[in-house]
Amino acid sequence: MTTAKEKRYRLSLSWEHEKEEDWLNERSAEGLHFEKINFIKYTFERDPSVRYTYRLDYQGGLNNKEKKQEYIDLYKDAGWEYVCSYGAMWHYFRKEWREGENPQLYTDRESLIALYKRIQSLIAVLFLCNLGIMSFNLSRPGPIRIVILAIYAFIFFALGFGYVKLNKKVKEMTK
Amino acid sequence: MEKWKDMLPLTEAFYYILVSLYVEPSHGYGIMQEAERMSGGRVKIGAGTLYTALNTLLNKGVIDNYPVPEGMDSRRKMYAITDEGRAVVKAEIARLEELLESGKHALSIGEERGT
């Protein structure tokens, strides 16, 4: 049997992973089920007979195969099917959609706050890495420096924005 | 000073994980089911919450890896409570008892005075 694959493009931001989940879930409701991701290219499989709830997890420290398998097995025991990963840290799971159910990976406020804080430290690390790369690039002479500065100004703005957004989320939850 | 002293108060998820391991060593799925059963279906620990909690508890030394007994599914990693973990549970129960006692006492006085 051949299955129809379709592609969609979306720039997903680390501090908006819930919006990405919503987007995937809306597609699944239309019969397009997410299967893999390559930077901004999402591959879907068309199948009108099913519908899934997708969830995205951020989990580091899964570099060795055995640890990753343990992680996937635990989620599987809880009814989640592993879909794929993006980089080493982002992992996509799904389970069959059921009317009136809204399954979550994080079921209490404390662990959800801890998740946001983990994502926040990722952004902080990216920020510092880019700062390092930028100072390296700026050591080159010539007018190219203005272009480099402009690119980095944008990157820092985006990362800073994400950091502040997550901060707000955490604050609202601890109020 | 022990690493676990700053853990109190425990979240409901942490509490039920430790309490279920107090009875016997178990794997992640067993802990989830036990927490749901003990709480009469109220506390359902999600996979993400459980996975991160287990890592935190391992780091704090209140639980430990437990060798999977012969004949059991070796795919499922097992956990056991440590002496520190037992101390945490006891300290938490003492804290909860104090809260409960003060609360009940206050309620009975309030009702006597008819307010």
Structural domain of A146: 109-174
Which pLDDT score is estimated for B115? 60
Chain B residues with CB under 8 Å of a chain A CB are 11-13, 27-29, 32, 44-53, 55, 75-77
Domain ranges of chain B: 9-88
Is residue A118 one of the residues assigned to a domain? yes
What is the distance between the alpha carbons of residues A70 and A66, in angstroms, rounded to a whole number?
A: 6
The two tokens of residue A20 are 């990405």
Residues A89 and A126 in one domain: no
Is residue A103 one of the residues assigned to a domain? no
Is residue A102 one of the residues assigned to a domain? no
Residues A63 and A137 in one domain: no
Residues A33 and A91 in one domain: yes
Average pLDDT over residues B8-37: 96
Cβ–Cβ gap A110/B32 under 8 Å: no
The two tokens of residue A145 are 């420096």
Picking from B49, B55, B59 by the largest number of A CB atoms within 10 A of its own CB, the best residue to mutate is B49
Residues A92 and A8 in one domain: yes
Is residue A101 one of the residues assigned to a domain? no
pLDDT band at B36 (very low <50, low <70, confident <90, very high): very high
Residues of chain A below pLDDT 70:
1-2
| For residue B90, pLDDT beyond 90 | yes
Residues A24 and A83 in one domain: yes
Residues A140 and A86 in one domain: no
Residues A8 and A62 in one domain: yes
Q: Domain B9-88 classified CATH 1.10.10.10?
A: yes
Residues A131 and A74 in one domain: no
Residues A34 and A65 in one domain: yes
Q: Backbone phi, then psi, for A68, in 5-degree steps?
A: -65, -40
Contact B51, A67 (CB under 8 A): no
| For residue B108, pLDDT beyond 80 | yes
Residues A92 and A113 in one domain: no
Cα dihedral across residues A73, B60, B85, B44: positive or negative: negative
DSSP 8-state class, residue B3: G
| For residue B1, pLDDT beyond 60 | no
A112-128 pLDDT per residue, tens: 999 999 999 999 999 99
Is residue A154 one of the residues assigned to a domain? yes
What is the distance between the alpha carbons of residues B52 and B60, in angstroms, rounded to a whole number?
A: 12
Cβ–Cβ gap B44/A71 under 8 Å: no
What is the distance between the alpha carbons of residues B78 and A72, in angstroms, rounded to a whole number?
A: 15
Cβ–Cβ gap B77/A107 under 8 Å: no
Residues A117 and A89 in one domain: no
Strands (E) across chain B are located at 26-27, 63-66, 78-81
Q: Which residue in the block uniquely carries the two structure tokens 């397009």?
A: A32
Chain A residues with CB under 8 Å of a chain B CB are 55, 57, 59, 61, 70-71, 73-75, 77-78, 80, 93, 103-108, 110-111, 114-115
Residues A25 and A83 in one domain: yes
Interface predicted TM-score (ipTM) of this complex, two decimals: 0.89
Average pLDDT, chain B: 93
| For residue B73, pLDDT beyond 80 | no
A74: closest chain B residue by CA: B28
* Number of domains chain A contains: 2
